[in-house]
Structure 1
Amino acid sequence: MTIDSTVIDTPIGPLSVLAGPDGAVRAAGFTPDPATLLPLVHPGLRGDLRPRGDLGPVNRAVVSYLDGDLTAIDPVPVQQHTGGAFMAHAWQVLRDVPAGEPVTYTGFAARAGRPAAVRAAAAACARNAAALFVPCHRVLRTDGTLGGYRWGLQVKTWLLGHERHSDSKPTPAMLPIDATVG
């Protein structure tokens, strides 16, 4: 099996994307080297990397998102190995969190139908291989601070700021963004 890979320039740095033969994103992350994403892909979904300059709809969606159409990434198909029904459901719930309206881990667990499963919700974020397309950057600690992010807090801060400021109408219920880790 062959996996197509590309690197897309973004204001916060290069975004590498791996896509399967059907065009579904299997992994994405803010790194200049797509090969570093391969270990994040389940062994059953891995293949030899084939560099491509453009992945068509995936590239167009990212460019549109960066240009302010924050919903452009929503219809891009994603394929990850779930590791169970809760993980698959949690990743879908993450895809339904609107841009500019981050949630806490507690809120994310509740949206996923398991309000007491805050650690499982956090694990879903940590195991997410398809950054941006499954927007785990939209999940914050209960106190509103950033928490962690595989691609660094600067990237998470930028993404949240982009989503907050790309919308013409402010969201009064939005949680404060604080770059401290504690």
Structure 2
Amino acid sequence: MTPLPARSATVDTPPGPFTVVVDRGGAVLASGWTADVADLLPVVHRALRPAWVEEVEHLPVLDAVTAFVAGDVAAIDDVPVRQRSGPFLEDAWEVLRTVPAGEPDTYAAFAARCGRPAAVRAAANACARNAAALFVPCHRVLGSDGGLGGFRWGTPVKRWLLDHEAAHAPVTV
């Protein structure tokens, strides 16, 4: 099966340029803090990787990014995402979308949230292999010591995201 073409666009954000690659249906295939779409394509599963990417000036999904940056941290919650891998990773990516903004998990708590409390390394791997940064908020998972842990787009970006969400997340009671 020949992969279909995709579209990409970039928007400026406080931590740097944010680029998104979407399929023809508008679902995010990959995203991250880069102005170079070539940085994103290697993380797209080969079954979803587009044959080519048309760079456009704007995509509707960037409206959610702009709203997020403006303080509506829930604006990214319903953006459609398409990722493929094995069952654990696909489930873990869905679970990541349930980690509330402003209330980060540790890798151990995230593994437990995934139903596999002993699978801390697998949970960390799910974060590391996530192609749809921001929309699948792997930045909301911290080390067991409360440290930032890793982040594909750099710990300064992760710190900005966590601080931004802490400042703008709805207060839960």
Q: Which TM class, normalised by the smaller chain length?
A: over 0.9
Distance 1:51 1:104 in 2: 36
Unaligned runs of at least 5 residues, structure 2: none
Q: Deviation of residue 92 (structure 1)?
A: 0.5
Q: How does 1:1-182 map to 2 (within 5 A)?
A: 1-47=4-50, 48-56=52-60, 58-81=61-84, 83-167=85-169, 169=171
Q: Deviations over 1:91-112 (max 9, x none)?
A: 0000010100000000000000
Q: Deviation of residue 52 (structure 1)?
A: 1.0
Change (3 A) 1:65 1:116: same
Give me the TM-score of the superposition, normalised by structure 2. Answer: 0.94
Unaligned runs of at least 5 residues, structure 1: 173-182
Supply the AA of the counterpart residue of 1:136. C
8 Å contact 1:74–1:95 — kept in the other structure? yes
Q: Report runs of 4+ in structure 1 exceeding 2 Å deviation.
A: none
Distance 1:144 1:63 in 2: 28
Supply the AA of the counterpart residue of 1:19. V
Distance 1:167 1:78 in 2: 22
Give me the TM-score of the superposition, normalised by structure 1. Answer: 0.90
Distance 1:161 1:100 in 2: 8
How many residues matched?
169
Quote the sequence identity (%): 57
Distance 1:2 1:20 in 2: 7
Q: Deviation of residue 168 (structure 1)?
A: 6.1
Distance 2:55 2:167 in 1: 33
Distance 2:62 2:72 in 1: 13
Distance 1:142 1:127 in 2: 19
